[in-house]
Structure 1
Amino acid sequence: VGHIALETWIGAYGAEFQIFRERHPSRVPEDLGTMGYSGEEAMYVSQDVLQEAYGATGHTLQFYMSYNTSNYDAKKHFDKLTDLPAEDTTAMNPYAQWTGDLDGLVEVAGGYHAKCPDGRFWISPACRHNASKCIPVVSNRLGWLVDTFMFWSAAYGMPTAIGISLSVQLHIDHFTNHRSLTYWYRPDVRFAHLDPQPIIFPRHRASEWAQGNKRSMTQGSYIGKLVARELCFQAFNAYEFVKNMEFDLSEVQTQLMKVATENQSLEVVACEQWTTSRVALGQERFGPTGTAPGLLLQPRGSRFRLQM
């Protein structure tokens, strides 16, 4: 049975967590506060594409207005839609109310579905007249943020073709091997080696999102630290350590970059960072001790006392 769960995206599943809290008040874990950063979900563009566009024309593709077809032909920096294998993407509601784009929808009982002319990709209004002018956009197999991508594309004249990769590995392959835009979240190691950057949209407007209008930027998700309710009594030092532990998002992403580029495991990189930080602060390293209650447990069964 686990006693500590770090980096839990409670903010993304707040309603579900509250339901569990109400149904199982004696079993719900204790939240010891933020990890020090919020999770970021967005539409990402690779560093290579960013540098190419900026070097060639001075346009920054990290800004949403650079994609508007009235201002710039951003498509020339990306692959064609047909470059992505069609068999690798899955066959594909407030969107209609706030965008008025009924041509991009199929009416069904109780609402609408996205209209995919080829059965795979939704084509935005900006390139619906000619799909070869579309920039490929892929989400992962669960289709995260696809409806939001549709909103952004329609609201800001972005020429996009939005599809969903059939599997996690295909999602990685699509963005790694093709010049496309993608769904991603940080912190995460999946695309760290490409150093992609989120496209910046207008600041998040909670009141609009509450109505189903998703034209503004996504909001960072609260990421917490959950522990067993009895941990405070069973291992007070561990409890206090977790409670006071916070990280910076850029710091975490830098360490994940090492995992991606140096072929090291998460455990090795984390331990190296921990010991390096302690030496830099002039603190003693910690060493093996006995197995008395209250000490921290290392995965393989050894216990260590923190020399704070």
Structure 2
Amino acid sequence: MTFCQCGGGAFTLMCCYVGNEGMFILAGSMQNALNQSGLGLDFYRNYNADFFSPQLYTAKVSDVDLSRLQTCAESVMVGFAEIAEQYLAATGDNDGVTTVGGNLVLKCELQEKWWVPPACRSNPGNCIPCTTAQAGWGLIPMIQQATFHNMPVAFATARITPVDDYIPLGRELQSLIYWWFPDTMFALDSPSIVIFPDYSPSEQKQQIYRTMKANTILTKWASGGIETAADKPVHVAEKMNLFKDDISKLLLRYVQLGNDPWAAACEWLKENGNLWESWMPNETACTSGKGLVDSNMNFITNRAVAVGCETCPVGHYSKEQGATRVCTPCGLGEYQSLPGEDVCLLCDKGRYAGEMGTVNCHLCPLGEYANDTGMSECMVCGTGTGQEDKWTTSQAVVAQGEETWIQVQGADSISYCGCIAGTFLWDGLCQECIEGSICEGSSKLLLQPGFFSRATEPGMVYRCYGETVRCPGGEPGVCADGRDTTTIACSACLPGLHARDGVCVACGGGDYALVTVVGILGCIGIAVLYVVLMNEGQKSKQPGSLLIAALGMGQMVTIVQQLTVIQQFKIDWGEPFNSILVAMELMAFDLDMISI
């Protein structure tokens, strides 16, 4: 017999049965006496020594050969050295422990082999024996339960050598024994568990074992991906559901058939077809990653004509349809590159899927972009301009410190859109580049050195006089330092500056002195000329030779000025006329010549 509490063992199974361990009663000759008295020893209250004498129906400690037992020091105090401290802290029973060599140990009687509870401590030989094995398995909770519930049950550990007396001693005594379920050791002895109060997690967390230990659930485990590789065995494992009574009968038959697992399994299958047939998978109940097929292995959606299930191919996904699944093509903007998947994936930005059942999404071509996931077509750059053929998608790359623009496929933003090389973007349209400008595909116009255009009119390009001295090139509206960007071709210097050898420099004191001297001399000349002319007019009413000379000189200066202005057009004049015109540039009042 075994005195056992439920739970705690390693042998439990989720949905099938739970594992029990603790004190079990081994039925035998004492069962008849129990039936006649009506005392149920499978319930802890019937062991209370204040009301009952359960030892009348069991073996006694005095019946056990002490040579077949280990001492407490050899067993439990080796395997569970802390048991005495836990017992004293939980029960406060000082008489159940003692100190040996400074260590608190269980106080064991009868050659230090039996631990005796308070209920029968006055007469240890009259206690009900409960034996366990190895290093005192199960003693930690069982000695506390015997004390808490006033049970006259003593505990000892069967010897290991020269033979293991655990099983034969338990059967010979027909009393209580520590055991666990499911197991075959005592299957022929019809053991039954002794039931204690329901499991109390708060108490047992404090190592107080007044109640039953928790049932340990045996769970079902499978490696990842096995459902895809072998869905039918997984289905059987999921549906299989055996309970305690089923397991007890199965283990009993296993022992009766000489521990032959195949014979026991075969007999069980023959006798329990109504149970295990419900575990079998339906051939057309497709599982994850699969879909219905007909007799020709074609994927179909009508279960009525289906004969089985197959893994969904690439470009498809396994879709639930009632109690089964069908393989369905991925929709527009989706793809699936792996077989046996339950979902399709959205195309990334910059890609599209324009057909059903796509395996991989396509990159957007040049001049198009996809700025969202799951797109079935790409957006076209420059839509509505009528110039779609002049647009592309490009980006800047830097190599060896220089920026270069390259065309790219798979653009994921409108920011990649721009005009093709040879054009630039202005007023929403791609304009053709003209001489002096550079259009490298960035949608911007840049100027070559020696050319100028205003920022507000980048397409109106002028060739600069003096070329790079005045116009360094680059962005529209850029002139050399000191030049006025509001003038065409950077022709004028900024206020406070004047040109010297084509470069604008700040005005100095000598420049202002020269202007002053020239102004004074001009005033003097005009005054002298006026006096001379007045005197000459008084002498004669006819124009004199001086007046004629002055008028002739004025006409000559006017002609020279006109010629020197024409000379600014860079006409290829012949010699010596060209040299004469250059020498007369002062007459055109070219301030660059006199550096004013």
**Which band: TM-score by shorter chain?**
0.7 to 0.9
Q: Are residue 129 (structure 1) and residue 109 (structure 2) matched?
A: no
Q: Are residue 67 (structure 1) and residue 47 (structure 2) matched?
A: yes
- CA drift of 1:146 comes to 0.7
Question: Scaled by the length of structure 1, what TM-score is found?
Answer: 0.74
Distance 2:266 2:103 in 1: 51
**Could you say which residue in structure 2 is the equivalent of 1:29?**
none
Distance 2:188 2:136 in 1: 23
**Could you say which residue in structure 2 is the equivalent of 1:232?**
227
Change in 2 beyond 3 A, CA 1:133/1:187: same
What amino acid maps onto 1:51 in structure 2?
Q
Secondary structure of 1:129 counterpart = coil
Q: Structure 1 residues 62-71 or 260-269, which shifts more?
A: 260-269
Distance 2:104 2:229 in 1: 53
**Could you say which residue in structure 1 is the equivalent of 2:65?**
85
- CA drift of 1:110 comes to 9.2
- CA drift of 1:142 comes to 3.6
Of 87, 92, 105, which residue of structure 2 is paired with 1:113?
105
Distance 1:165 1:189 in 2: 19
Higher helix residue share: 1
Distance 1:115 1:99 in 2: 14
Q: Any runs of at least 4 consecutive aligned residues in structure 1 with deviations exceeding 4 A, and if so which?
A: 10-13, 108-111, 279-283
Asked if 1 retains the 8 angstrom alpha-carbon contact of 2:116 and 2:154, the reply is yes
Distance 1:11 1:192 in 2: 20
Change in 2 beyond 3 A, CA 1:242/1:154: same
Distance 2:197 2:104 in 1: 26
Distance 1:76 1:242 in 2: 47
Asked if 2 retains the 8 angstrom alpha-carbon contact of 1:77 and 1:179, the reply is no
Asked if 1 retains the 8 angstrom alpha-carbon contact of 2:8 and 2:20, the reply is no
**Could you say which residue in structure 1 is the equivalent of 2:204?**
209
Secondary structure of 2:195 counterpart = coil
Of 240, 258, 265, which residue of structure 2 is paired with 1:245?
240
Q: Are residue 148 (structure 1) and residue 114 (structure 2) matched?
A: no
Of 37, 48, 51, which residue of structure 1 is paired with 2:17?
37
| Count of aligned residue pairs for this structure pair | 256
Distance 1:107 1:152 in 2: 22
Of the two structures, which has the highest relative contact order with CA contacts closer than 8 Å and spacing of 6 or more? 1
Change in 2 beyond 3 A, CA 1:276/1:110: farther
**Could you say which residue in structure 1 is the equivalent of 2:475?**
none
**Could you say which residue in structure 2 is the equivalent of 1:290?**
none
**Could you say which residue in structure 1 is the equivalent of 2:526?**
none
- Root mean square deviation, CA, Å: 2.7
Distance 1:96 1:282 in 2: 54
Asked if 2 retains the 8 angstrom alpha-carbon contact of 1:53 and 1:61, the reply is no
The superposition leaves residues 135-180 of structure 1 with CA deviations (integer Å, 9 ceiling, x where unpaired) of 1101121422211110111011111210112349521111111132
**Could you say which residue in structure 2 is the equivalent of 1:176?**
171
- Aligned ranges 1:150-299 → 2 under 5 Å: 150-167=143-160, 169-278=164-273
Q: Which residues of structure 2 form unaligned runs of 5+?
A: 1-6, 73-84, 281-596
Q: Are residue 99 (structure 1) and residue 91 (structure 2) matched?
A: yes
Asked if 1 retains the 8 angstrom alpha-carbon contact of 2:27 and 2:174, the reply is no
What amino acid maps onto 2:114 in structure 1?
F
Distance 1:230 1:106 in 2: 57
The superposition leaves residues 231-254 of structure 1 with CA deviations (integer Å, 9 ceiling, x where unpaired) of 334433223322332211110111
- CA drift of 1:82 comes to 3.2
Asked if 2 retains the 8 angstrom alpha-carbon contact of 1:64 and 1:201, the reply is yes
Asked if 2 retains the 8 angstrom alpha-carbon contact of 1:201 and 1:217, the reply is yes
Greater Cα radius of gyration, structure 1 or 2? 2
Change in 2 beyond 3 A, CA 1:159/1:226: same
Q: Which residues of structure 1 form unaligned runs of 5+?
A: 1-9, 14-32, 286-308
Distance 2:204 2:100 in 1: 23
Distance 1:160 1:206 in 2: 25
Distance 1:108 1:38 in 2: 40
Change in 2 beyond 3 A, CA 1:40/1:148: same
Change in 2 beyond 3 A, CA 1:204/1:50: farther
**Could you say which residue in structure 1 is the equivalent of 2:509?**
none
